[in-house]
Amino acid sequence: MSMIVEGVSYAYPKNPVLKDVSFEIGKGECVAILGTNGVGKSTLLKCLNNVINAQAGAITVADMPLNGMSGDELARLIGYVPQNSFFPDITVFDAVLLGRKPYIKWDITKDDLEIAENMIKSLSLEKFALRKVNYMSGGEMQKVAIARALAQQPTILLFDEPTSNLDLKNQLEVIQIIKDIVQKQQISAIVTMHDLNLALRFADKFMMMKDGRIHAMGGAEIITPQNIWEVYGVQVSIENYNGYHIVIPQQ
């Protein structure tokens, strides 16, 4: 199932953020959106999930226009994890179970409970299952938000800086979990990231944004010193170590 984005634009008052953004993502792909602060990465994710409505252009998922879907239809197709997630005063288990809401008609089923339990295990949250979410650290809360999105069993996952509150071990763990789910279930993930080296370990495709537009998009071949200089204004070299490309700043 693919997502097609055609000519999407968005402007806040006196501040155009997205300008004619177009791309396509297919099943089984992990795409990292890269760029400086304020370039429009988070705004683009919000448009892709109808949190805000694109002011121009069109977004379709499985040949269906995004703006014609109900809330439940959208939630069954797209899972979204913002930078800062809000939770009511509930336990971790109940917070993850909320991800099943788009599927619940009359009552919670055995399948709903099992899916929530499996997502909690996949994020290593078992020992926190009965703890109130609001008493957890920022990193732990971020993992709960990811588990909730995975419980929706969407075909497209959107993550806005999913590793920003995590230590190194949990960064690698969460990124690997996302990648494994995308590959095993042949769904898609679009992830905004600041860490170029983490993105190079994780993503299949890269979207480099500058001034609200796509500056370059493709595989690891677009992560070049020239593109990084043009997007970030930083001089780097790129080395290969144990099969991984590593970006090394030169200043």
Instruction: List domains and CATH numbers for the chain.
Output: 3-91+153-249 (3.40.50.300)
Mean pLDDT of all residues belonging to the chain: 89
Average pLDDT in the 114-125 region?
A: 90
DSSP 8-state code for residue 49? T
- For residue range 155-209, list pLDDT tens digits in order: 999 999 888 778 888 888 888 888 888 888 888 999 999 999 999 988 999 999 9
78-81 vs 156-160, strand pairing mode: parallel
Q: Residue 120 class from Cβ within 10 Å (0-12 exposed, 13-18 middle, 19+ buried)?
A: buried
Tokens of 204: 């299949």
Helix (H) or strand (E) holding 251: none
Report the alpha-carbon distance of residue 206 to residue 224 in Å, rounded. Answer: 12
Residue % of the chain over a pLDDT of 90: 46
Report the alpha-carbon distance of residue 235 to residue 250 in Å, rounded. Answer: 6
> Within a 10 A sphere around the Cβ of 236, how many other Cβ atoms?
20
- For residue range 48-91, list pLDDT tens digits in order: 998 888 899 999 888 888 887 888 888 888 988 887 777 888 99
Report the alpha-carbon distance of residue 44 to residue 27 in Å, rounded. Answer: 19
Report the alpha-carbon distance of residue 123 to residue 166 in Å, rounded. Answer: 13
Q: Which of 24, 3, 29, 23 is nearest to 187 (CA)?
A: 29
Instruction: Compute the residue count for the chain.
Output: 251
